[in-house]
Structure 1
Amino acid sequence: MRLLPYLFSFCLCFSISIVPAFAGWQAVVPEEAGKLPMLVAVDKSRQSAQFFGQKASELSSQKVPCSSGQVKGDKQREGDRKTPEGIYFVEKRRTSGLDYALYGQEAYTLNYPNPVDKLREKNGHGIWIHGRGTPIVPRETKGCIALNNPDIADLYTKVTVNTPVILAEQVVPYFRSESEFNELKEKTFQWVAAWQDRSPEYLQMFSPEAFTKSMKKPFSSFKQQKERLFSRLPWIITWTNNVNVLQGPDYWVTWFDQYYHAPNLVTQGVRRLYWQKNSDGEFVIVGMEWKERKIGIEKAYLDAVAASVHNFLDTWVTDWKNGTVDKYISRYAIKAVQGSHRGVNAIANHKRKLWQQKKPAKIVLSDIKMSMSRRGLEVTMNQYYEDSTGYSDQGTKTLVLLPKDGQWVIVIEEWRS
């Protein structure tokens, strides 16, 4: 009987020994992090910063000591001397106007508070990753992350604007991604597609209440603004590249390069969407951030759509050469303009009359070039045409294309011999 109390005491002591002295957010680094240019992960319990991604191998060390806030726990208020916990992003690199004793020679500013922090009514500002005038000691900052000067100097060119940063009590590296990663990537693409289609689904993917709190703007105003634009604009092109996902404490972030082109505006930059699950277990957008930057994404967009445009041209030429009016006209928008003919009915009637007398015999396109304009995606090419009577001509054909229901349609067709 004496053995039972002994076992009970042993088990109790063992269970107590494995409980962390302070329970905070335990972050996991997904396997996909290795595909990022760089990810910074700070483990406050170990007072260390670890680096993941393609550029991490260029560093002198992929794990270095750091110093976090003097008070343990997740930052809640200005002046509480705590380091926040969550997913953050580098906003800019500072090298001038710094107090050397506090910040060393350089610093990377972070986007604290992010939209979810604002949703949770956290406040404060000025959370940086910075150097130090003297060798660092554990937990000596007012909430920032301090690195020794040689270590932060090593980050130059590897850590850039929009580099993701995990700040957590504990960090578990290279955890197998869960199904939520793929689900959120798919939802991000759905959101972008709904935006391009000017669909009501775009606004239905937000949480109005959470958006209002996190963005400090009534969702009703945001909704009215978007609905006005959707009704006024004849078309919108949106495209994303490099969609990434990270899990924060009870929220997720997707971020990506975004290209937006409409008749009234052309922008490119980085979009961040912050997601939480609603009472039905569905992911909804609770906040977002937009950082306009010239990242050369228009060229990337044109490269990405080149194959689909060439496939469209092949199909269009085939339908034209076969003289099948119904298939040929299906490649045009309802209000398309072809020379003096306006609308698909006028274009179809013209082609029926023409092809009854002179059937297309040979069509060759060459030197195909694509560019973006205020009219849409412009495709310019050399065109050789020959009909069944032996008549031929050669000149420059310009097609203005727009996406519709996942396909291209011609909105304007111009010919110059």
Structure 2
Amino acid sequence: MKTARQIAYDTLLRIEKENAYSNIAIDKMLQSSGLDKVQSAFATAIFYGVLETKIQLDYAISKYLKKKLTSLDIQIVTILRMGFYQLLYMDGVPDNAAVNESVKLVEYARKASAKGFANAVLRSFIRDEKAITLPNKDKDLVMYYSIQYACPKWLFQQWKDQYDLETAIELAKASLHRPPLTVRVNTLKTTTEKLIGFLENRGVKACKHEFLENCLVLEQTGSIDKLPQYRQGLFHVQDVASQICAEILNAKQGDTIIDMCSAPGSKAFTIAEHMNNEGKIYAFDLFEHKLKLISDGAKRLGITIMNTSLQDATIFNEDLLKADHVLCDVPCSGLGIVRRKPEIKYKNEQDFANLPEIQFAILSNAANYVKLGGTLVYSTCTTNKKENIEVINRFLKMNNSFKPLQLSEIFGKINGMDDFAVTLFPHKYNCDGFFIAALVKEKESV
């Protein structure tokens, strides 16, 4: 059986070689590992820790090399990153253990000739008291914070330019923290109080969210899908920001809803619960396997008003009836969920350049499905203004039948909801970075 470090190493290497999704990769690896809870948690901590702090780790490692880091085999780089991470951030791991286990990994990686090299680099770092000398702040402010918070320079610069230095720093800090586990109570089957009792009887710590009704923050859950309350459909996992988005849609019993890009379906599930499972929800996606996720989730939760359909969100379907509310949660760069998927920040800024055009096309098409007096909600899980307010402003400029809808009229529990659009920041609300805008159709287009 593989050790926890070997599991972490194998998964990190897969991320490097295959650009795999971090959460899927580590979950799949752990499921077949045979590790107990403690060792699984240890492997997970190393895996996400290295992935999150890779920029800082590479900077620190490079100080002990005579040549560029990129000239080393990726196997050795990965092992050094793991060793440095344990030395820097895992107080429960003795220095000698971090070094010795890293050397063992070199042999596991079939790079035995590099054992002495890895040992020397790690012990040199220990002799220097594991100190990292940051770049000169006065000479290169962005580089300084990039290394301090393991944030790509382009991303920190974007946050600084679009918001301000303080916000950029707070966003960079927040990106290194693990997000809370929040769930939505399925009010079709239970109540918040009953679910708390059920979960606590299973040893799960469950607390009500500070301002969001029917939302719980869970700790000590173990594998969430193994909880009987999950299998019974008493809740579904959903971030606070996503729940707020569903609330802002303000769906009522008997309404007709269209969810343009629905997968994995969590917003549609919450909307169905608001509607007391009465009305119609049309959930679209571009891929069959994602539609199955939605259907399976709805079945588990006991939701019967969901109609899933394979649809290209940029192409109008004239067979569909007009809806009371249309949710347009578009594909985006995901820069608001970096702490969930650290691999996102290692993409290039240009990888996201075409997204605003796709988002605008989806939003423009979504507008065709809104009935007179109906609402159109646009959302993303990114902090990038080019994908957010700039898309909305462009849409409003070209569509005089829609007007902004004040969020405070629908959901007034968050400071800053005094406009028709809001950006939720992780460091302020401990939720995903999220953008939400609400529009109302006041007249038919001319």
Scaled to the shorter chain, the TM-score interval is: under 0.3
TM-score (structure 2 length as normaliser): 0.26
Pair member with larger Rg: 1
Quick check: which one's helix share is greater? 2
TM-score by length of 1: 0.27
